[in-house]
Every structure is written in structure tokens, then in C-alpha cells.
Amino acid sequence: MHIFEALNPVNAVSDQISVLLQLLWFVFFISFFFLYPMFGQRAQMAFLLRDIEKKLNRLKLISDEVKQRTIQGIRQNGGTDQEDVLSQKLEGLLEYFYIQPESMDPVGIVYKLEHILNIGENRFEEQVASLVPSAPTHKVKSLTNLVEVARAVNFIYRVVRHYYLVGKKTANYVLALQLQMQLPQIIEIAEAYRNASFAFLNGQPIGDGVGVLVAAKFARESKIISTSEVVKDTSVSLAEFEGRKVYIVRATGPGGTVGKPGDAVLKVINDSNEKIDLIITVDAALKLEGEETGKVIEGVGVAIGGPGVDKFKIETIAREKNIPLYAIVIYQSITEAITPLKESIVKSAETALMRVKQLIKEKAPESGVVILTGIGNTIGIGM
């Protein structure tokens, strides 16, 4: 054997290197097994935090940009405060909050919520109006929407920053991982709000206003008998359509508001001595990924988003009076709902209008009475 090794020194050295490599691999494996929980997870945590920090900085830039655009809008509409005073007042509005009513006893909670929302909305609008004392009412409403957009982006940034700092402080790997996975979708929403700020600054119609647009188109193509603002920011037009009476309920434009369609429908029904044959609501609806923007779908129920107060009122009175509820929705994404109207959504309004007319002719008899409610933000959409 010794003679063979002496005659084959290359093989002997190769065997020794092989044994050494196997030994090193074994040591590395054992070290990795015991040291990874201490050092490997820390390295992954540092990587996660760096990635989250980059995205958090992106959110900060979006928030600052929307704030500056809000200040620009206030300046354009007669804001006279000094820069530091205006920024201070705006910061107060950006952290404005609503406290939900106690739900331990749910009886009457809808009306308690409505009371809080009414007080909050009025106070918020008053504070925005104080920044632009010479601006017309519809401009104040659009500026209020712009401030609400800045408030939403600011809230997103603050919440993400909170969880980032908590994860960093406690070295909570699971919390950081969950935040990192959700951040792409969060940033997409923040970008949508950033684009929405352009629409509210310039008074452009947004995707959410497509329901109001359908109602406005129906009014223009019908014989209008009367029009009045029956409740705050909400108008009702009585129209004649092929021998039928149609009450058209919609928010009063062109300022940015969604009105109070629930109160308007209640008033129409309670003030009318005639039987209401059906109620139709038209609104935007969030589509699923892969679905077509502008797709028009018919269903039953009340198509109204938000806190649910208006929806509750219409459902309640419809059940008491046995009035059928029909809904027509136009599919769009969350980004499309709060950004300027796309051509495909504008075209879908015509399709939805044809469906509304068809539904009225099918479900309401001649000389019947129908309530058509266009739901959505009416910014940039006049009568």
C-alpha cells in the first residue's frame, strides 16, 4: 500500500483533499444548523427592514406631494394665510378623526352613526371653507374632497410607519414579513390617491361618479317637470318617461359631494301619494382582477357603498312599502374609481342608461312611478 501511494502521489493528495472538503462541509452544516437561528434570521430581518424602509420613503414622498397639491389648491381658490400658518391648519385637518358609536347595544346604531358623520362632515367642511373664505360653495366642496385625499394618504403613511417601527423595535420577523407582503398593494392605493388629487384640484369627473352621470344623462333625455334640492347636497328631478313618472335622485354638482340619497328617497316616498313601483340604484362597483373595466351588470338590492346609513334607510322603507329594489353597477378598479373618468367608463354609462330604460319599461306599468338614484361623487358633473 505504501509502495502504491508512493508511486501514485496524485491520488493520495486527491483523497486527502476530498476528506478535508467533506469535513469542512460537515462543520459548515453543523454551524449553520446551530447559528442560523441567531444570525441568519437577523440577516433576513435586516433585509426586510431595508426593503420596507425604501417603500416607506416612497409613501412619504406621495404624502408630501399630495399635501403640496392641496396647499396649491387652497392658494388658487383664495387662501391668504402665510405658508407656516396654512401648513399648521392643514396638519390639523389631516389628523381629523371620527369615533365610531358604541355597538355593544346595536339598537339604533345606524342613526347614532349618522349623527356623528353629519357633525363631522359639517365641521370638516366649515374648517376647509375658513381657509378659502371667498371661494364659491362648489369649490369648497371640491377642496374638501382634496383635503380628504391628503388625509387618507397621510393616514396610510402613518400606519405603515407605525408597524415598521414596531417591527424594528421588537425584531418581530413575522410582523415585518407581513408588512412587506402587503406594501405593494398599499403603495398602489396610495398612488391612486395621488392621481385622485389631480382630479379634485382641477374639478374633473372621477370613475366613482359614473352613477351620477347615468342619472344626469337620463334627465337630459327625458321631459323634466320640476327640479329641487330636497335635502342637503341632493336634488330630485321629476321626469316623464314613456308615460311613467321617474324621480331622479342624485348629488348636486358640480362640486365634489355624494349627497344624501337615503334621505332624498325617504322624502320622495313619504311626500308622494302614489304607489312607487320600483327603486333603481346605479353605482360603480369594484371589479375583480381580470374583469373588464366598464362592464355593466344588473342585480337586486341597493347599490350604495360607504358607511351604510343611506343603504339602510332605502332598504328599510322599501321593505315597509313592499317596493322592489333593482341595482345596476359598472365595474372598475379602486384606482379607476378615484381617478379621472376613463373613456371605457364613459362609454359604459350609455350602456347602463339603456339598461335603466329597459328595466323601467319592463317593471313599471304605464302611468307607473319609479325612483332612479344615481350614486357617486358628483365632482365635475353638472345637471
pLDDT band at 39 (very low <50, low <70, confident <90, very high): low
Q: Are residues 185 and 292 in the same domain?
A: no
Share of the chain above pLDDT 90, in %: 70
Asked, for residue 379, whether it belongs to a domain, the answer is no
Model pLDDT, residue 369: 95
Q: Are residues 118 and 254 in the same domain?
A: no
The predicted model gives 277-302 an average pLDDT of 94
Phi, psi of 96 (to 5 degrees): -60, 140
The structure's pTM equals 0.84
> What confidence tens digit (pLDDT) does each residue in 74-117 have?
999 887 778 888 888 999 999 999 999 998 888 889 999 999 99
Q: Which residue carries 360603480 as its cell?
A: 284
Report the number of secondary-structure helices (H) and strands (E) in the chain.
12, 7
Model pLDDT, residue 383: 62
Please state, rounded to an integer, the average pLDDT across all residues of the chain: 89
> What confidence tens digit (pLDDT) does each residue in 214-257 have?
999 999 999 999 999 999 999 999 999 999 999 999 999 788 89
Q: Are residues 169 and 51 in the same domain?
A: yes
Total domains in the chain come to: 3
Cis status, amide bond into 37, omega within 30 of 0 = no
C-alpha–C-alpha distance, residues 339 and 200, integer Å: 9
Output DSSP code: residue 71: H
- Which residue in 349, 174, 182 sits closest to 250, CA to CA? 349
Which of 202, 219, 234 is at the close of a domain?
202
Model pLDDT, residue 28: 64
The residue segments making up the domain with residue 26 are 2-34
Asked, for residue 39, whether it belongs to a domain, the answer is no
> What confidence tens digit (pLDDT) does each residue in 320-374 have?
999 999 999 999 998 999 999 999 999 999 999 999 999 999 999 988 999 999 9
The predicted model gives 137-162 an average pLDDT of 94
| Single-letter amino acid code for the residue at 284 | A
Q: Residue 350: give its domain's CATH number.
A: 3.40.50
